[in-house]
Chain A
Amino acid sequence: MAELELKNLYDDFRDGDTLRAYAKIIAKDAAKLDRTINIMEVCGGHTHSIMKFGLPQMMPKNINFIHGPGCPVCIMPKERIDHAYVLSLQPDVILVTLGDMIKVPGSSGSLQDTRAKGADVRFVYSPLECIKIADKNPSKTVIFFAIGFETTTPMTAVLVDQIIKLDIENVLFHINHVTVPEVMRELIDSRDEHVDSYNNKIDAFIGPSHVSVITGAKIYDEFPRDYDRPVVVSGFEPVDVMQGISMIVKQFVENRCELEIQYKRVVTNEGNKSAQKLIDTYFDKVDLFRWRGLGSVPESGLKLKNEFIKYDAESVYKSVLPITEIEDHRLCICGDILRGTAKPPECTIFGTACKPSTPIGSCMVSSEGACAAYYKYGNLI
C-alpha cells in the first residue's frame, strides 16, 4: 500500500470531480426510493465537515441530514461547566482543559471569564502536557478537566496511568467523558419528555470516525440488528462522507440493513485493544450522565474507579462544587434538533438571541454544534 500523506487528505479526499461523481451516484440511487431518508451524522466532526464543504447542497431532495449530539463541548451541561468555573477560582489551582471548552459559558460565565479575573486556565493539545505543568509548578494543584468521547478518553487514561506510575501528587482529574452507543440508543429508543412521545426521524447513522478507531465498529452492531437502522462508519473528509452516504442509500435501494465501514484506512471491527484495556483499568460507567439538550442518559458517562478517588477533583473539592442541575433555556429547541425533528433555522432564537458569541443552547456552543455550523457557514444560502 502506498504511504498516505497528510497532503493526500486535503487534495485527493477533497477532489471536486470525485465529489461530483458521488453526488451523481447518490442522486441516481435516491431516485429509486419513494421516500425520504434521514441520515444522522452522530459526530460533531462530521457536522462540521458537512457544513464546511457544503454537502447538503449536493444532495437530492429526499436525502436529509440530521445533526447528532456528538460534540463533546456542546453537550456538557451547565452544572459541569460551573464545576470547572469554581475549580479554576480555587487558590493555587491551575485548571487545564482541551481547546474550545474554554469558551463555553456556564451559569456564571466561562473559563475565559475566570481567566480574565486572574485564574490560571490553560488549554493543551495533549493531556500529557499536564505532567510538565505540574512539574514546573510544584506548589500548585493541576486539575485536568477531561472532556470528550471515546476518542479522547484514552489520552486521559494514559495521563492517569502516568500520574500514578510516576507518583505525581499535584494532578487531579475532573472527568466528563461520555460514550457514543448509549446516546445513539437513547435517541431512537427513548421517550422525549417535552413532547411525550418516542418521536424521532432517524433512518440511518453515519458512524463516528475517530471514536471507532478506538472502540472498533463492533459497538454499532446493535443498531442494524435490534433497531433496524443501518450504520456506515465514515471518515471526516468530504469524499469519505459522500461515499458513506452513497453506501447508506445503496442499502435502502437493495433492502439491506447492515453495519459497514467506509473508513477502512483506520477503522477495524475490533478497534484499539490496548486503549480499551487502559480505559477499563481506570474508569467505570456512571449510572446517569446529563446531556445538555437531551437530559439524563443511562450509563453514558465515565468516572474514575473508586480505588482512584484521591485523584478525583469532584471528591477532593466536593465541599465547594455546586450540585444544582441547571435546565436548558425554555426557548431552546436543541433537543428537537438532535432528534431530527427540527432544523436550526426553525428555532425562534437562532441567530438572534443565540449566537456563537453568546450561545444559549448546546448546539451553538462549539464550531462542531449544528447551530454554530449553520450560523457560520450558511444561514442564508
Chain B
Amino acid sequence: MTKTITIAHGNGGTENNELITKIFYKHFENDILAKSEDAAVIEDGKLAFTTDSFTVSPLFFPGGDIGKLAVCGTCNDLAMMGAKPKYMTCSVIIEEGFSTRELEKIVKSMKTELEINDAIVVSGDTKVVPKGAVDKLFINTTGIGTIEHKGITASGLKEGMSILVSRDLGCHGATIFAAREGIELESGLKTDCASLYPQIKALMDADINIVALRDATRGGVSAVLNEWAKTSDVCVEVEEEKIPVIDEVRGICEMLGFEAVDLANEGTFVLCVNKEDEAKALEVLQQTHKTSAIIATVTQQHVGKVLLNSSWGTKRFLDLPTGELLPRIC
C-alpha cells in the first residue's frame, strides 16, 4: 500500500481493491462482508442491504444529476442481488453557499427515481460544512430490499454459460469525461443513468435463471468480467466485435485513448445465464434496449483471466483497469 491515498485508489480497479482489502476488510472482517457482493445478503437470505456515496462533478450532467445517481446507484446494487428496493436513507453533506434552488432540483429528481423503484426514504441526515470542505454537495444513500431471486453470486460461473450486457457501453463515463474541465468536448452524449429493477423484474418474470448479475459501474464491464473470472475460477472469452458501443462513445475513446469496456456506467448491467436461457434473456433485455447483446462465453482457456478475441483471429487479455483514467498524449 502507498503511504498516501491517491485518486487511483477510488477507480474501482486494482488500487481500489487493494485499499478495501488491506484496510477495511482487514479490520471489519466477517462472513457477510467477505462475500464482497454489490449488496450484503442478511436475515437468512431474506434481505439485501447496501450503501453508496455520491461525489460526482459536475452535479448536473446530460441525462441526469447527482440526485438521480444517488437513488439509482443504491437501488441498482439491491436489484443486482435479485432484490426489490424498499426502504432508503439519505444523508447529504452540503458546502456553505450552495444554492437552495439547485438542492431542491436534486431532491426532486431523487423523488422521481424513487417512484420508478417503488421505494421510499425513511430516514435522513443533513450536514453543512464550511466552504472548501466538500465540493458543493455529497450524498450518501443506504437501501434495504427484499430478495426475490435467490442464489445470484459472482462465484457461480461454469464452463459453457453465456454472458450478456444490457445495453451499449460507456455512455456515463464518456459523458462525464467530455464534460470535465480541461476537456470540454461537445457531444450529443447522455449518461445511461437509470434504475435497473424493472429490467431485473422482467427477467425474473420470464423465468430466467440468473446465475450472476452486476451493474458495470466504476471499472466498467472489464472490472465485472475480471472479478467473475477470478472468483469463479474460469476464463471469460469475449468476442470483441459483439461488444455494443455507440459511435459517439467510440469517438471519444479513440480520441482520448480509452476503451469503452473500462468506462463507468450507471444503468448498464452484465448478466450470466445458462446457455439455454441466452436467447430468452436477450429477448427480454432488448425490450428495453435494442443494443443489448450476448458478448462472451465462459470457458477454461486461461483460468482467472478475461480473453478478448478479435475478428481477425488474434487474442489478448482484457485486464482490470489500473490507475486513474487519463487521456493518452498523442
Interface positions of A (Cβ within 8 A of B): 6-7, 9-10, 16-17, 19-20, 23, 44-45, 48, 51-55, 57-58, 72-73, 98-103, 112-113, 115-117, 122-125, 129, 147-149, 151-152, 210, 238, 356-357, 366-368, 376-381
- Complex Cα spacing A367 to B4, Å: 24
- Complex Cα spacing A116 to B7, Å: 8
Is B327 positioned at the interface, with any CB of A under 8 Å from its CB?
Answer: yes
Give chain B nearest CB distance to A65 CB in angstroms: 14
Give chain B nearest CB distance to A355 CB in angstroms: 9
Judging by beta carbons under 8 Å apart, are A380 and B182 in contact? no
Q: Which of A16, A99, A117 contacts B310 (CB 8 A)?
A: A16
Is B314 positioned at the interface, with any CB of A under 8 Å from its CB?
Answer: yes
Chain B residues with CB under 8 A of A103:
8, 323-324, 326
Q: Interface segment, B68-76, B120-128, B139-147, B249-257?
A: B249-257
Judging by beta carbons under 8 Å apart, are A10 and B250 in contact? yes
Judging by beta carbons under 8 Å apart, are A357 and B314 in contact? no
Is B187 positioned at the interface, with any CB of A under 8 Å from its CB?
Answer: no
Judging by beta carbons under 8 Å apart, are A149 and B324 in contact? no
- Complex Cα spacing A367 to B250, Å: 19
Q: Which of A44, A73, A129, A357 contacts B182 (CB 8 A)?
A: A129
Is B28 positioned at the interface, with any CB of A under 8 Å from its CB?
Answer: no
Determine the main DSSP class of A at the interface with B.
Answer: helix
Judging by beta carbons under 8 Å apart, are A73 and B323 in contact? no
Q: How large is the interface on B (under 10, 10 to 19, 20 to 34, 35 or more residues)?
A: 35 or more
Determine the main DSSP class of B at the interface with A.
Answer: loop
Give chain B nearest CB distance to A296 CB in angstroms: 23
Give chain A nearest CB distance to B225 CB in angstroms: 15
Closest to A211 in B: B330
Is B22 positioned at the interface, with any CB of A under 8 Å from its CB?
Answer: no
Is B15 positioned at the interface, with any CB of A under 8 Å from its CB?
Answer: yes
Judging by beta carbons under 8 Å apart, are A377 and B254 in contact? no
Is B23 positioned at the interface, with any CB of A under 8 Å from its CB?
Answer: no
Judging by beta carbons under 8 Å apart, are B330 and A53 in contact? no
Judging by beta carbons under 8 Å apart, are B329 and A54 in contact? no
Closest to A58 in B: B314
B254-282 contact mask (Cβ, 8 Å, vs A): 1 or 0:
10110000000000000000000000000
Assuming the A-B contacts A9-B254, A113-B4, are A54 and B330 also in contact, with contact meaning beta carbons closer than 8 angstroms in the complex? Answer: no
- Complex Cα spacing A380 to B310, Å: 17
Judging by beta carbons under 8 Å apart, are B315 and A57 in contact? yes
Judging by beta carbons under 8 Å apart, are A378 and B316 in contact? yes
Judging by beta carbons under 8 Å apart, are B257 and A152 in contact? no
Assuming the A-B contacts A73-B329, A125-B183, are A380 and B317 also in contact, with contact meaning beta carbons closer than 8 angstroms in the complex? Answer: yes
Judging by beta carbons under 8 Å apart, are A58 and B312 in contact? yes
Give chain A nearest CB distance to B258 CB in angstroms: 10
Give chain A nearest CB distance to B263 CB in angstroms: 15
Assuming the A-B contacts A116-B4, A377-B316, A377-B317, are A99 and B327 also in contact, with contact meaning beta carbons closer than 8 angstroms in the complex? Answer: yes
Assuming the A-B contacts A10-B250, A112-B8, are A148 and B329 also in contact, with contact meaning beta carbons closer than 8 angstroms in the complex? Answer: yes
User: Top 8 nearest A-B pairs by Cβ distance?
Assistant: A54-B314, A16-B311, A16-B312, A19-B312, A99-B327, A377-B316, A124-B182, A151-B330
Give chain A nearest CB distance to B101 CB in angstroms: 24
Assuming the A-B contacts A7-B247, A103-B324, A124-B182, are A20 and B313 also in contact, with contact meaning beta carbons closer than 8 angstroms in the complex? Answer: yes
Closest to B321 in A: A376
Assuming the A-B contacts A149-B330, A380-B317, are A54 and B310 also in contact, with contact meaning beta carbons closer than 8 angstroms in the complex? Answer: yes
Q: Which of A123, A149, A151, A376 contacts B319 (CB 8 A)?
A: A376
Assuming the A-B contacts A125-B256, A357-B15, A357-B323, are A99 and B316 also in contact, with contact meaning beta carbons closer than 8 angstroms in the complex? Answer: no
Chain B residues with CB under 8 A of A123:
182, 326-327
Q: Which of A7, A101, A356 contacts B329 (CB 8 A)?
A: A101
